[in-house]
Amino acid sequence: MEETNQYFSQLYDQYITRIYRFVYLKVSSVETAEDLSSEVFLRLYKRLREPGREIQNPQAFLYQIARNVVADHYRGRRVTTISIEKTTIEIEDIGDPTQGQAEVNLEMDRIRQALSQLQDDYQNLIIWRYIDELTVPEIAQIIGKSEGNIRVGVSRALEALREKIT
């Protein structure tokens, strides 16, 4: 049991930031992202405690759980969109960012809004490849497709994102 707790702790420390960021970009709410990220790691912990249920690739397993948790979240409630004005106000209320940080926040808002307009598969590919910096083989393992399919998918996703941003 102690070994399981240590392994869980190690996985949590290693992946919490990536999983939270992935979920946050999908739901655009700090509170919801925190709740859903907690659910991801709760499911991981339950799985680790099951006798004889070894996890071969923890990263792929966590992202699969995160995808499922986000999907369950949206299935369970009506999807609402947040206006860019509201998002900007929330960012300004967080603190007094420098000019450079304010520009980064505005650019992130544009990207987040453009991402939200893409189909779910494209969102995942862009987040994993360019935000979480996963390799093509790692992404292929997460979703169970060939590396060639992932490369094509990433290219198409980027093209679709560029269209939404411009």
**Average pLDDT over every residue of 102-113:** 73
Fold of 1-80: Rna Polymerase Sigma Factor; Chain: A (1.10.1740)
Give the pLDDT confidence score for residue 3 in this predicted structure: 86
Report d(CA 110, CA 118) in Å as an integer: 13
- Token pair listed for 107: 């650019």
pLDDT band at 77 (very low <50, low <70, confident <90, very high): low
CA 61 vs CA 23, 47, 99, 103, 125: distances in Å? 15, 10, 39, 35, 16
Q: What is the mean pLDDT of residues 113-129?
A: 88
Residue 136 near residue 154, CB atoms below 8 Å: yes
Q: Per-domain residue ranges for the chain? A: 1-80
Residue count of the chain: 166
Residue 160 has pLDDT above 70, yes or no: yes
Number of Cα atoms under 13 Å in the Cβ half of residue 29: 13
pTM of the model: 0.65
Separation of alpha carbons 86 and 95, rounded Å: 15
Cβ atoms of 39 and 69 closer than 8 Å? yes
Q: Range with the lowest mean pLDDT among 16-30, 57-71, 84-98, 143-157? A: 84-98
pLDDT band at 96 (very low <50, low <70, confident <90, very high): very low
pLDDT for 78 equals 46
pLDDT of residue 111: 77
Q: What confidence tier does 64 reach under pLDDT thresholds 50, 70, 90? A: very high
**CB half-sphere exposure, 116, CA atoms < 13 A:** 19
Percent of the chain with pLDDT over 90: 40
Average pLDDT over residues 54-77: 89
pLDDT for the residue numbered 32? 92
Q: Tokens for 132, please give them.
A: 């979480």
Q: How large a percentage of the chain has pLDDT more than 70? A: 83
Which residues lie below 8 Å from residue 17, measured CB to CB, with a gap of 6+? none
